Amino acid sequence: MLKLDKIVKTYKTPSIITTALDSVSITFREQEFVAILGPSGSGKTTLLNIIGGLDHYDSGDLILNNQSTKDFKANDWDAYRNNSVGFVFQSYNLINHLSVFENVELGLTLSNVPKDERDKMSKDALTKVGLEDHMYKKPSELSGGQMQRVAIARALVNNPDILLCDEPTGALDSKTSVQIMDLIKELSKEKLVIMVTHNNEIARQYADRIVQFRDGQIVTDNHPYDGAKPTQNFELKKTKLSYWTALKLSWNNLKTKKGQTSITAFASSIGIISIGVVLSLSNGFQNEINRTQTQTLSQFPITIASFASDPTVFSDYEPREEFPDSQEVIAVGDVSEAAIHTNPLDEEYINYIRNIDPELVNNIGFSRNLNLNLLREVDGDIQQVQFSNENPEAQMDRGNMATSMTGVGLNTFPTDSQGNETDFSQENYDLLAGEFPSEATDVVLIIDRDNTTNVYGLTNLGFDVTEDDTLNFDEIIGTEMQLVANNDYYMELPNNQFVPNDDLTEVYKAENNVTIRISGILRAPEEDTLALLSPGIAYSDGLNQLMLQANEASNIVLAQEASDNNVMTNQAFESSSARDTFIGMLGGDAIPSSIYIYPNDFEQKDEILAYLDAWNEGKEQEDQVLYNDLASVVSGLTGSLMNAITYALVAFAAISLVTSMIMIGIITYTSVIQRTKEIGILKALGARKKDITRVFDSETFILGISSGILGVVIAWLLTYPINVAIENLTSLTNVAQLDPGHAVILIIISTVLTVIGGHIPARMAANLDAAEALRMD
């Protein structure tokens, strides 16, 4: 049934070519106990490995039930090893981290035998070798004889036709040897047993047939067989290990070596921990940088005012000779006055501003010189009131004209780049009383962090307060005023002079009046946000628009546009710009006096500046619109500097990533290399290359996920002490924050890297000849 025909096997090493088998021909009976006797190095093990399919012959043929194995594929050999042969080695070759039972069961698992069948078969085999009481021990808890019994049980469990034993008693004392030999003898009653030994006595005592071996050749054979008629046809059942079984096997493996597994997982996780920490730090710093940028920019927006300072005047300035010897004094003009540039702000330019990429702009604020004609009834009296923090007496001095010139900060809500109203106040302010504004006619009172607001702001609204007085929220909320159109507010005297109508009671009831209401009291919240509005009354630009629409063609505006003199005082203006300002105050000019652009960050600011510069390209100096970039003056920070910081942080994270990649790869690599012998055992049991890589891949997969999760959890825990330390050093709170998205990515990276790190050596080991893998120790 098993026939070797002129088998030749040579081993080539760089220095020497050894002919281990030199044209060996021999035929075995279906059932007999053959002892192969020979001195060490004569080729006995090689012969056994070739019979068992652990090693492959160079020439000749191995014939199984009349079937040549010349055309056997790798998986045919795998199936042959799994079903038809059982191996017993001198050094037992048990897998130490599996229990006795699991070692025996392994061959069955590899061929996907169902669980209960596996259980029964393994127990039967263990009972047969007398180990039924030691099934759940580890091999290390057994004696040499017991371990060899386990190996025999493992070889038997699949009920193979051939049992191959390589010096099975070589490592045992004589008493134990006898027991093992008795066991093997017993088995030989129903199988072909081929046993290699150099012990003459044992051979003579137990074997039915003794084959003498020397220098790779058969010298004598005391009971040769001519291999008459073949009996049945040889049948191979293919082995196949499912992914699920592989995963379970790996899980059990890992469970049995908890200590080693946790150390490996922890070692692999160190890289993940460091990236996790670096990422959470860079996240935090990035947020901090962004916040600083937004904050700086909210205080120092890009400003486009009616007047700007023209830097070219300074740069074009030719310095004169210093400390000249001359006896002359030179009269020069004022450079900064010469540098004053009037910005030609017009509708086209405003539209240009509105067309800024909305992505770049956080908010745009418009400020206007517009005067709102407001009347309020206080205790039955009608009074002129205004939205202004200015001392009314100072205003008197300035020209007896109630204006709401915007001093510092904004008093209108910023809009988006299209000029649409946004939820700015809801997003950036806390509502202390009343409601958020919902209509253009709703105005709000902004108070400071300490609930203060300017005393003139209140008196100008008609409230009877002096410094340090307090007002209840209720006294303010719901306060109503009438916004009066110019034609009702001013009357024209016969000398064409315009004066405010002094019958305020009548004006107060004018038909076209619009009712304005203080709808709420707002305060900047405790967390930093955009506190763009200065304390006082704030309202939407929509209210300005209402006023502008009503007054653009009002009598006073038309008269003023036609006259060079001030139509209220009948006196000449100091300058044409003073006249323009006055027309603006009367509502005759829809163009804002200043535009404030609030970018989100410095990089966007740079882009907006480029956009503003593009407007000026190719224009004459006087047609250009010059802006003021306050943030750059104040902080000296530019988008590119901010980017450099960000890149540095990213580079830092990338370096840790690469380091941890290499580390994870190496750790997995070494742990798989250490298990080459185990791979040899799996092969001897009939595992396919695929099965072996599958077992190792699923093991490294579990390991990768665990170390990823472990790393992420540790990194997350570390952010707490790190934050405490940073807070102590810099007073920045909660800087390190692990982004959940990053955490998931890190776990995936850890898994992929670990699987790759393990896959390569597992493939290499699976490609080794089983005989070679087994020789590893």
Residues near Mg ion (CB under 5 A): 45
CB-nearer residue toward ligand ADP: 164 or 702:
164
Decide: 484 and 509 in contact? Cβ < 8 Å. Answer: no
Only one of the segments 38-46, 149-157, 244-252, 492-500 lies at the binding site for ligand ADP (rule: CB under 6 A); that segment is 38-46
The one of ligand ADP, Mg ion, none whose footprint includes residue 154, by CB under 5 to 8 A per kind, is: none
The entry of Mg ion, ligand ADP, none near residue 42 (CB within 5 to 8 angstroms by kind) is: ligand ADP
The string of DSSP letters for 570-615 reads: --B-SSHHHHHHHHHHTT---S-SEEEEEESSHHHHHHHHHHHHHH
Tell me whether residue 700 is exposed, middle or buried, using C-beta atoms within 10 angstroms of its C-beta: 0 to 12, 13 to 18, 19 or more. Answer: buried
Question: How far is Cα 629 from Cα 314, in angstroms, rounded to an integer?
Answer: 17
User: Which member of 1, 7, 35, 45 binds ligand ADP (CB under 6 A)?
Assistant: 45
From the list ligand ADP, Mg ion, none, partner contacted by residue 20 (C-beta under 5 to 8 A by kind): ligand ADP
Distance, CA of 243 to CA of 280 (rounded, Å) = 36
Contact of 709 with 268, CB cutoff 8 Å: no
The footprint of ligand ADP on this chain (CB under 6 A) covers a number of residues equal to 12
251 binds ligand ADP (CB under 6 A): no
Nearest distance in Å: CB 771, ligand ADP:
7
**Closest residue by Cα to residue 194 from 87, 97, 269:** 87
Which residue of 33, 42, 249, 679 would you call a contact of ligand ADP, by CB under 6 A? 42
- The owner of tokens 């924050």 is 737
| CA atoms of 667 and 670, how far apart (whole Å) | 5
Alpha-carbon distance 635 to 293, whole Å? 10
Q: Which stretch binds ligand ADP (CB under 6 A): 35-43, 259-267, 319-327, 413-421?
A: 35-43
Please identify, among the stretches 13-21, 87-95, 239-247, 700-708, the one whose residues bind ligand ADP according to the rule CB under 6 A: 13-21
* By CB under 6 A, residue 36 contacts ligand ADP: no
Q: Choose between 270 and 774: whose C-beta lies nearer to Mg ion.
A: 774
**Least distance to ligand ADP, CB of residue 13, Å:** 5
Closer Cβ to ligand ADP, 45 or 554, answer by number: 45
Looking at the Cβ atoms of 44 and 154, the one nearer to Mg ion is: 44
For residue 774, the minimal CB distance to Mg ion (Å) is: 12
Binding-site partner at residue 298 among ligand ADP, Mg ion, none, CB < 5 to 8 Å by type = none
If one asks whether residue 20 binds ligand ADP (CB under 6 A), the answer comes out as: yes
Cα separation of the two ends of the chain: 35
Q: Is 438 in the site for ligand ADP (CB under 6 A)?
A: no
Interface stretch with ligand ADP, choices 37-45, 175-183, 240-248, 755-763 (CB under 6 A): 37-45
Contact status, residue 725 vs residue 671, Cβ threshold 8 Å: no
Judged by CB, which is closer to ligand ADP: 44, or 523? 44
DSSP code at position 143: -
376 interacts with ligand ADP by CB under 6 A: no
Nearer to Mg ion, 43 or 587 (CB): 43
Identify any residues that bridge with 35 across adjacent strands, giving them in sequence order. Answer: 195, 210
- Decide if residue 44 touches ligand ADP (CB under 6 A): yes
Q: Does 683 bind ligand ADP (CB under 6 A)?
A: no
Task: Provide, rounded to whole angstroms, the least separation between the CB of residue 167 and Mg ion.
Answer: 6
Nearer to Mg ion, 39 or 721 (CB): 39
- Asked if residue 43 binds ligand ADP (CB under 6 A), the reply is yes
- Residue nearer to Mg ion on the CB measure, 151 or 532: 151
Residue 741 CA to residue 749 CA, distance in Å, equals 12
The reply to whether 327 sits near ligand ADP by the rule CB under 6 A is: no
Tokens, residue 592 = 């804002």
Q: Go through the chain and tell me how many residues it has.
A: 777
Q: Which residue has the tokens 């002892």?
A: 35
User: Among 6, 25, 41, 570, which residue sits at the site for ligand ADP (rule: CB under 6 A)?
Assistant: 41
Distances from the Cα of 312 to the Cα of 315, 322, 622, 628, 631, angstroms: 5, 22, 12, 13, 20
Nearest approach, Cβ of residue 216 and ligand ADP (Å): 7
- Structure-block tokens of residue 193: 């047993």
By beta-carbon proximity to ligand ADP, the closer residue of 444 and 765 is: 765
450 Cβ contact list (under 8 Å, min separation 6): none
How would you classify residue 647: left for phi > 0, otherwise alpha for psi between -120 and 50, otherwise beta?
A: alpha
Q: Which is nearer to ligand ADP, 9 or 376 (CB)?
A: 9
Distance CA 773, CA 47 (A): 17
Inter-residue contact 657 to 754 (CB < 8 Å): no
Name the closest residue to Mg ion (Cβ). Answer: 45
In 207-339, where does DSSP find H-type helix?
A: 243-256, 258-299, 311-316, 335-338
Q: What is the 3-state secondary structure (H, E, C) of 651-703?
A: HHHHHHHHHHHHHHHHHHHHHHHCCHHHHHHHHHCCCCHHHHHHHHHHHHHHH
**Amino acid code (one letter) for 644:** A
Token pair for 636: 């000296």
| Strand partners of residue 481 | 516
55 or 601, CB closer to Mg ion? Answer: 55
The nearer residue to ligand ADP, 20 or 672, going by C-beta atoms, is 20
Helix (H, G, I), strand (E, B) or coil at 268: helix
Residue 46 sits in the site that holds ligand ADP (CB under 6 A): yes
If the CB atoms of residues 22 and 421 are measured against ligand ADP, the closer one turns out to be 22
Distance CA 567, CA 582 (A): 10
The residue with tokens 């300074």 is 314
- Is residue 18 within the footprint of ligand ADP (CB under 6 A)? yes
CB of 45 to Mg ion, least distance (A): 3
731 counts as binding ligand ADP under rule CB under 6 A: no
CB of 32 to ligand ADP, least distance (A): 21
Rounded Cα distance between 532 and 38, Å, is 98
CB of 462 or CB of 680, closer to ligand ADP: 680
40 is a contact residue toward ligand ADP (CB under 6 A): yes
- Pairing type for strands 32-37 and 192-197 reads parallel
Task: Identify which range of 11-19, 228-236, 352-360, 717-725 contacts ligand ADP by CB under 6 A.
Answer: 11-19
CB of 163 to Mg ion, least distance (A): 17
Q: Which is nearer to ligand ADP, 9 or 742 (CB)?
A: 9
Q: In this chain, which stretch among 33-41, 169-177, 559-567, 595-603 interacts with ligand ADP, using CB under 6 A?
A: 33-41
Find out whether 50 and 57 touch, Cβ atoms under 8 Å.
yes
Report what 311 binds from ligand ADP, Mg ion, none; CB cut-off 5-8 Å by kind. none
State the alpha helices, DSSP H only, in 157-242: 174-187, 200-206
| Shortest CB 21 distance to ligand ADP, Å | 8
Instruction: Specify the stretch interacting with ligand ADP by CB under 6 A; choose among 43-51, 59-67, 314-322, 470-478.
Output: 43-51
What residue spans of 25-136 are helical by DSSP H? 44-51, 74-83, 100-110, 115-128
Any contact of residue 315 with ligand ADP (CB under 6 A)?
Answer: no
In sequence order, the 6+-apart residues with CB closer than 8 A to the CB of 82 are 107, 110, 111, 158, 237, 239, 685, 686, 687
Q: Is 770 among the residues that bind ligand ADP (CB under 6 A)? A: no
Q: Of 18 and 452, which has the nearer Cβ to ligand ADP?
A: 18
| Residues of the shown chain interacting with ligand ADP in the complex, contacts defined by CB under 6 A | 11, 13, 18, 20, 38, 40-46
